[in-house]
Amino acid sequence: MPKIIILNVGTAHALGDHTSSTHPITRSGWRHAWFAERGDIIVSPVAVDGDFLRYLAGTMGFDPDTVTVLSRERLVTDEFLMSDDVLGELGELTADGAAWQLMPCFWTQGVADLAARLGIDSRAGLAFAAQRGSDLLNRKTHFRQFAAGAGLPLPEGSVARTPYELARAIERHLPLTGTVIVKQDDGAGGLGNLTLTRGETGPLPGSRETLKVGDDLPALADEVWAALADELSHGLVVESYHSSTRQFYLEYVIGDDGVPTFLDSGEIRLRPDADPGSTELVWVGLDIPAALPPALSAQAVHHSLRLAELTAQVGYRGHINIDAIATASGDLVFNEVNARWGGGLVAHDICERLLGSGYADRHVAATVRDVPPAPLDAVLRTLREERLHFSRDSSEGVFVLACDPSLVTPMECLVVGATRDRVREIEAQLRKALA
Amino acid sequence: MPKIIILNVGTAHALGDHTSSTHPITRSGWRHAWFAERGDIIVSPVAVDGDFLRYLAGTMGFDPDTVTVLSRERLVTDEFLMSDDVLGELGELTADGAAWQLMPCFWTQGVADLAARLGIDSRAGLAFAAQRGSDLLNRKTHFRQFAAGAGLPLPEGSVARTPYELARAIERHLPLTGTVIVKQDDGAGGLGNLTLTRGETGPLPGSRETLKVGDDLPALADEVWAALADELSHGLVVESYHSSTRQFYLEYVIGDDGVPTFLDSGEIRLRPDADPGSTELVWVGLDIPAALPPALSAQAVHHSLRLAELTAQVGYRGHINIDAIATASGDLVFNEVNARWGGGLVAHDICERLLGSGYADRHVAATVRDVPPAPLDAVLRTLREERLHFSRDSSEGVFVLACDPSLVTPMECLVVGATRDRVREIEAQLRKALA
């Protein structure tokens, strides 16, 4: 069954500019071209370079000419999907009688409308999507409500709907650890989070900047409110901030039958910015699978499955990612849920297709997001020369996950090996070879 | 087990003025004093008249001096509940070692905080309430999402988050019936709803005003957006408007065990305003139980229970009301959910206490909300003289549900009889006697 891969990345995120396709998060969407299989259509905010498509198709073993990329160099919004232009082209492309499937990052109203227009409307979850049901799930405030209802361990915290409530909530949750995190309702990747502390104001995981809490809390609350609240926001989340030893996610896909299937887990790697003046940490990538101690792992699966099941009961069908941390004292605390593809999904998909299901018991995968941009052909030549490219024989090596032909956005690689140490070793060789 | 009845009516509603206690919806809250039993505390936005309390206690058969009313003549907000004054008084009143229960209209964050402060924190659902979980349920936009997920029959419609989306949604949903209803996310009692039509602009059930749809749809959408969207709103609901033959609700209470118990159903009675210039219909009252045809009744119970169960799974505990209509063509369509006491709950409570459970198989109750205000003692004298007051012997007659000593708000009565015809007969006698 061929599928339409819809890279509507960023449409439900607070990326500021809602139509341009130049934001790094949008451009990193190239990695999702790896979802393609023979005969698929990719609806993308950015054109997919022909060389890149040939490279990934060659790696995965299908004919790249069977894949169609539909792009107009603008964000894949609901309006874009329902435009006459796009509807017309997709209508022609899918008029072959095949049983087309949709694979969107977000199940938006526009995706449901598109399904109806293309006659792909038998799928469960479309009625929920048509009412913007994912909005119920992709909100930080709602996460705390659903998670509290499902009994997940949460940081001490609450929901604030006005600057006054924000000041009260900061006052209330600051004493526990001396730091609170304030989360934008609809933020992505920590871009919408600020930390407020009575201690040092250095960069902290999950936060774009750490501010000092002084004597004038109402003024600080007003400042934070102005920075984070927006027209579509339902409020802000305020939580006691815990330093973490692990930050990880668990990803599920909820099938048409409403049953969640566990897909993958991963840990988030961060490092200080080379620029000492930077207010935030650099996201290096994801280590898949998350290497959790046994009891914590069991708790994490137990609780995240409860939330995934609740999400299914509410009516959502599709991918769901649940983020958690292990605190310095070893406690499990859940942070947020995202009803969309996770950042590690494409790595999981590649590994499962090339290494088989259960690959995570025998292999480790690491995405590396901060590789300096370089021309794809030069990178591939270097990988071959240095024998670093992924080999089916050795089941280890490097993939170029995403590559910006204009050399603006950093390159993203996927490194696979038998152990995490081995993966780090290959990564070091990769960085050296490309330096 | 004595209880604290918390009349936090209006706090989560869009009543405009958020601290005054003079709004009719707030003042109609007097009826909730009927929930009181021996030893209870009533936290009320308005003082409860001593004569009224003696009247209702005498009717229900308990000593009114055992009931404490705590009122400061201002709305019972979360801030009010957590004020030193109120906390102090409630702390003293509940320091008797009894197993106090909370019975709030809305399970707000402040109610959860109050429970913790009073040591009544063992109840399920408090963690959900502490995260403002009820906000998940008391939104028109969320209702469409939950209901779509649970498979309830809904009017054709969608959720709009911007004036642009509103215009598109009106355009989309207008053709089906020639009229759409636009619902404020957080409105109460139809106060936040507008109907837009290509037909006649007379008053319609569930709408505060009907506007004409002309040629300039974007301008109309801007006007409606400005009228209905507010700071806390997440968006507006737009639905094809169906004329209805019945408007009814089903009420459940979700227990600590997460199991919904069906309580009562009722039909909404509306009539045209005596003022021909009025843009909305007058809400006469509720007829309990709803007299639905058998198949529609089974469907209504089936679907509303599904939604109540979903609400329980999400984590809510407490009362929930689900509103629906039968369309002119006999179809069942659901309109909204409210996670709070319904307007008919107090009538149900009185009937169950005086007539026994299952009373609705042998009796009919009707609330009458538009009785001209009159002094309580005069009204009670008239009821006795005319033999209209409720009698335990005949199991029929009139209760004064709510009565404004300042004679500003209309009086609300409850009429009980063996059949709906008999209830209408008593109501006519009541209106004549008080005229």
CA distance B265 to B344: 8
Distance from CA of B194 to the nearest CA of A (A): 20
The parts of chain B modelled with pLDDT lower than 70 are 10-28, 188-190, 234
Best residue of A306, A314, A317 to probe chain B, by most B CBs closer than 10 Å = A314
CB contacts of B135 in chain A (<8 Å) are 141, 145, 159, 234
**What is the model's pLDDT at position B15?**
44
Q: Which residues pair with A238 in a beta bridge?
A: A158, A182
User: Is the minimum CB–CB distance between A367 and chain B shorter than 8 Å?
Assistant: no
∠ CA A34-A37-A43, nearest 5°, is 65
CA distance A258 to A262: 13
Comparing CA positions, the residue from B86, B85, B123 lying closest to residue B107 is B123
**What is the model's pLDDT at position B9?**
85
Give yes or no for residue A13 having a pLDDT over 60.
no
Of B130, B148, B232, the CB nearest to A148: B130
> What three-state secondary structure class fits A33?
helix
CB contacts of B153 in chain A (<8 Å) are none
CB A75 within 8 A of CB A10: yes
User: What CATH number is given for B244-434 in this structure?
Assistant: 3.30.470.20
Give yes or no for residue A274 having a pLDDT over 80.
yes
Cβ–Cβ gap B131/A144 under 8 Å: yes
**What is the model's pLDDT at position A173?**
97
Give yes or no for residue A16 having a pLDDT over 70.
no
User: Is the minimum CB–CB distance between A312 and chain B shorter than 8 Å?
Assistant: no
CB contacts of A161 in chain B (<8 Å) are 132, 232
Residue A18 pLDDT grade (very low, low, confident, very high; cuts 50, 70, 90): very low
CB contacts of A162 in chain B (<8 Å) are 231
Best residue of A80, A234, A238, A316 to probe chain B, by most B CBs closer than 10 Å = A234
Q: Which two tokens stand for residue A407?
A: 């050399």
Q: Are strands A332-338 and A260-271 parallel, antiparallel or unpaired?
A: unpaired
Distance from CA of B170 to the nearest CA of A (A): 15
**What is the model's pLDDT at position B20?**
54
CB atoms within 10 A of CB B139: 29
CA distance A111 to B162: 18
* Residue A12 per-residue DSSP state: T
CB atoms within 10 A of CB B125: 23
User: Is the minimum CB–CB distance between A283 and chain B shorter than 8 Å?
Assistant: no
In chain B, whose CA is at the least distance from the CA of A152? B127
Average pLDDT, chain A: 92
Distance from CA of A141 to the nearest CA of B (A): 8
Of B146, B313, B315, the CB nearest to A148: B315
**What is the model's pLDDT at position A22?**
60
Of B109, B145, B162, the CB nearest to A136: B145
**Is the pLDDT higher at A297 or at B123?**
A297
The 3-state DSSP composition of chain B as helix, strand, coil percent (nearest 5) reads: 35, 25, 40
Tell me, what amino acid is at A133? Answer: G
Q: Do you find a cis peptide bond into A289, omega within 30 degrees of 0?
A: yes
Q: Which residues pair with B265 in a beta bridge?
A: B250
Q: Which residues pair with B251 in a beta bridge?
A: B264, B321
Of A159, A232, A315, the CB nearest to B149: A315
Comparing CA positions, the residue from A226, A243, A221 lying closest to residue A171 is A221
Give yes or no for residue A41 having a pLDDT over 80.
yes
Comparing CA positions, the residue from B156, B107, B133, B148 lying closest to residue B4 is B107
Which ranges in B322-403 belong to alpha helices (H)? 345-355, 376-385
CA distance B82 to A165: 13
Of A161, A314, A316, the CB nearest to B310: A314
Burial code (b: 16+ CB inside 10 Å, e: under 16) for A10-29 equals: bbbbbbeeeeebebeebbbb
> Per CATH, is A344-435 categorized as 3.30.70?
yes
Q: Which of residues 192-231 of A touch B (CB under 8 A)?
A: 231
CA distance A256 to A251: 17
Q: Which two tokens stand for residue B339?
A: 């996670």
Distance from CA of A338 to the nearest CA of B (A): 17
Which ranges in B388-435 belong to alpha helices (H)? 420-434
Cβ–Cβ gap B145/A133 under 8 Å: yes
Q: Could you give the strand order of the β-sheet that contains A364-371, starting from the edge strand earlier in sequence?
A: A332-338, A318-327, A244-254, A260-271, A282-288, A364-371, A411-417, A397-402
Extents of the domains making up chain B? 3-132, 156-240, 244-434
Contact residues for B216 (Cβ-Cβ < 8 A; gap 6+): none
Best residue of B131, B162, B171 to probe chain A, by most A CBs closer than 10 Å = B131
Best residue of A108, A137, A145 to probe chain B, by most B CBs closer than 10 Å = A145
User: Is the minimum CB–CB distance between B255 and chain A shorter than 8 Å?
Assistant: no
Distance from CA of A417 to the nearest CA of B (A): 41
Q: Which of residues 141-170 of B touch A (CB under 8 A)?
A: 141-142, 144-146, 148-151, 158-159, 161-162
User: Is the minimum CB–CB distance between A234 and chain B shorter than 8 Å?
Assistant: yes
CB contacts of B148 in chain A (<8 Å) are 127-128, 130-131, 133, 315
Cβ–Cβ gap B146/A135 under 8 Å: no
Cβ–Cβ gap A127/B151 under 8 Å: yes
**pLDDT tens track for A1-10:** 899 999 998 6
Distance from CA of B404 to the nearest CA of A (A): 34
CA distance A220 to A158: 18
* Measured CA distances, B125 to B99, B107, B203 (Å): 18, 9, 40
**What is the model's pLDDT at position A192?**
87
In chain B, whose CA is at the least distance from the CA of A307? B314
Q: Which two tokens stand for residue B407?
A: 């004679």
**pLDDT tens track for A360-378:** 999 999 999 999 999 999 9
Cβ–Cβ gap B148/A132 under 8 Å: no
User: Is the minimum CB–CB distance between A306 and chain B shorter than 8 Å?
Assistant: no
Residue A188 pLDDT grade (very low, low, confident, very high; cuts 50, 70, 90): low
* Measured CA distances, A266 to A247, A321, A324, A345, A365 (Å): 8, 10, 10, 10, 9
User: Is the minimum CB–CB distance between A236 and chain B shorter than 8 Å?
Assistant: no
Q: Which residues pair with A415 in a beta bridge?
A: A366, A398
CA distance B57 to B214: 56
Residue B344 buriedness (CB in 10 A; 0-12 / 13-18 / 19+): buried
Cβ–Cβ gap B133/A145 under 8 Å: yes
CB contacts of B128 in chain A (<8 Å) are 145, 148-149
CB contacts of B316 in chain A (<8 Å) are 149
Rg (chain B; Cα; Å): 22
Cβ–Cβ gap B128/A144 under 8 Å: no
Of B141, B149, B234, the CB nearest to A128: B149
